[in-house]
Amino acid sequence: MKKAVFFFLILSFFVFSPKRAYAQNKSNEFYNELLSDYREYQGLLEPFSSAKSRYLAYQSVSAQSEFLEVSKRLIKAEIEAMRSYASFVKTYLAEATKILNYDENYIYVKLDDELQYLDLARVKADSVTTLSEAEALLKELESHHQRISLLGYQTKALTEIGSVKKIFDNLKIDRGKIDSFLSSSDAAQNKVPASREKLSSLDLESDKVSTLIREAETSYKSFAFRNAAPKSKEIWDTVTKSVVAMKSLLKGYRDIIFNFK
Amino acid sequence: MKKNIMMSVLLVFLLSLAGLLFYARIDKTVPSISVKTEETGSQELSEETLTPTPSYSKEIVEIEDDLKMIEADIYKVKEDSRLNPPSFIFTLGLDQ
């Protein structure tokens, strides 16, 4: 009887488990993994500092070997967190690509290369036997971290630009629809001239959006290792400005439509 | 005896659960246990009984719907700071 109840409980768990009921986004799963890996890395910083202080103070063999062990643990945790971040960016890009319909395969391929390197780095970290080897591996990891960070910032900028471009394309389609409505006989003719005037003034706002999107795209082209973070901020600021301009376009189009209700 | 009854109840429950899952996967329409009610046929109201409501052209309605969707998309544009890379230390700090 006990076995039957146990079987029933197990079955119920699988049937009603929330993971099955609500399929999560893959990128969210990787992000949670990143959070947990990064927390683990942060937890190792304090023991690393203490071991380093002891090694610097005593310069003894035991202090050195302790410092080496703690450093190796820290390096391994660093590799895992970098791996989770790269996987998160990769899946995020894949999901955004599905939504926004644009191809940015080179980021995808480069992230794959970095993930391959990190697999190799895991093995390297295991075989570290001296502090100078650990230092050399850290230097190597630094250059890969720069590359992965750049890909992350590029993915961020790319999805932001892609989103506003898609919205702007839709707004342009609706501008066309309003234009043809104003030319049709359905439109109350006495309201058409004022609406046309409004539409022309909104076209100036539309030009502003075009310019801002172009500006963001140009900024994107000049992404480099050294300027990745400020460049990402610059692009986000431009994207925000374009969103503000699109809101006023939307308001204007609604105003025209309201006139004919 | 008691054990047998318990086992039968459990078996019936599991079978009904399996049935529900089967319907949900194959048919996507899980059989309802609610009492069926007669659907009242949508009676067509005569022109006279209708109060005069403004009728908008099809184009206006379509544009309005489009603009609603665009507005929803605009509000979805948010900075995703999760993509900002985490920082690490890349030196043992023994050079100082």
Higher pLDDT: A25 or B34? It is: A25
Rounded Cα distance between A249 and B73, Å, is 14
A167 interfacial to chain B (CB closer than 8 Å)? yes
Q: Is B1 part of any domain?
A: yes
pLDDT reported for residue A97: 77
CB contact under 8 A, A178 and B63: yes
pLDDT reported for residue A104: 64
Full residue range of the structural domain in which residue A166 is found: 162-259
A114 interfacial to chain B (CB closer than 8 Å)? no
pLDDT reported for residue A125: 97
- Name the token pair of A39: 């927390």
pLDDT reported for residue A171: 97
A30 interfacial to chain B (CB closer than 8 Å)? no
Q: Is B7 part of any domain?
A: yes
Rounded Cα distance between B93 and B91, Å, is 5
Using a 10 angstrom Cβ sphere, with 0-12 exposed, 13-18 middle and 19 or more buried, the burial of residue B64 is: middle
Q: Is A16 part of any domain?
A: no
Q: Is B83 part of any domain?
A: no
CB contact under 8 A, B62 and A177: yes
CB contact under 8 A, B88 and A81: yes
Higher pLDDT: A155 or B45? It is: A155
Give me the interface pTM, i.e. the ipTM: 0.81
Instruction: Please check the confidence at residue B1 and state whether its pLDDT lies above 90.
Output: no
Q: Is B8 part of any domain?
A: yes
Q: Is B26 part of any domain?
A: yes
CB contact under 8 A, B59 and A131: no
Q: Is A241 part of any domain?
A: yes
pLDDT reported for residue A251: 96
Mutate to test the interface with B, among A174, A175, A253 (most CBs of B within 10 A): A174
A89/chain B closest Cα distance in angstroms: 7
Full residue range of the structural domain in which residue B15 is found: 1-30
CB contact under 8 A, B70 and A250: yes
Show the low-confidence residues of chain A (pLDDT under 50).
Answer: 6-24
Let me know: does A148 contact A86? Beta carbons within 8 Å: yes
pLDDT reported for residue A99: 60
Q: Is B14 part of any domain?
A: yes
B55 interfacial to chain A (CB closer than 8 Å)? no
Higher pLDDT: B38 or B78? It is: B78
pLDDT reported for residue A185: 72
Q: Is A237 part of any domain?
A: yes
Q: Is B5 part of any domain?
A: yes
Q: H-type helices in chain A, by residue range?
A: 2-16, 18-21, 26-58, 61-100, 105-126, 131-183, 192-221, 228-259
A45 interfacial to chain B (CB closer than 8 Å)? yes
Rounded Cα distance between A38 and B43, Å, is 63
Amino acid identity of B82? Answer: R
pLDDT reported for residue A23: 37
Q: Is A85 part of any domain?
A: yes
pLDDT reported for residue B29: 41
Residues A206, A249: one domain?
yes
Contacts of B53 in chain A (CB under 8 A): none
A164 interfacial to chain B (CB closer than 8 Å)? yes
Contacts of A31 in chain B (CB under 8 A): 82
pLDDT reported for residue A260: 84
The structural domain count of chain A equals 2
CB contact under 8 A, A152 and B76: no
Q: Is B60 part of any domain?
A: no
For A136-158, the pLDDT digits (tens) are 999 999 999 999 999 999 999 99
- Name the token pair of B50: 């209708």
Residues A168, A121: one domain?
no
Higher pLDDT: B11 or B49? It is: B11
pLDDT reported for residue A1: 52
The structural domain count of chain B equals 1
A194 interfacial to chain B (CB closer than 8 Å)? no
Residues A102, A177: one domain?
no
Residue A78: C-alpha distances to residues A52, A82, A138, A149, B24 (Å): 17, 6, 9, 14, 44
Rounded Cα distance between A235 and A230, Å, is 9
Residues A124, A166: one domain?
no
Using a 10 angstrom Cβ sphere, with 0-12 exposed, 13-18 middle and 19 or more buried, the burial of residue A66 is: middle
pLDDT reported for residue A220: 94
pLDDT reported for residue A190: 81
How many contacts, defined by CB atoms under 8 Å, are there between A and B?
Answer: 127
Instruction: Please check the confidence at residue B21 and state whether its pLDDT lies above 70.
Output: no
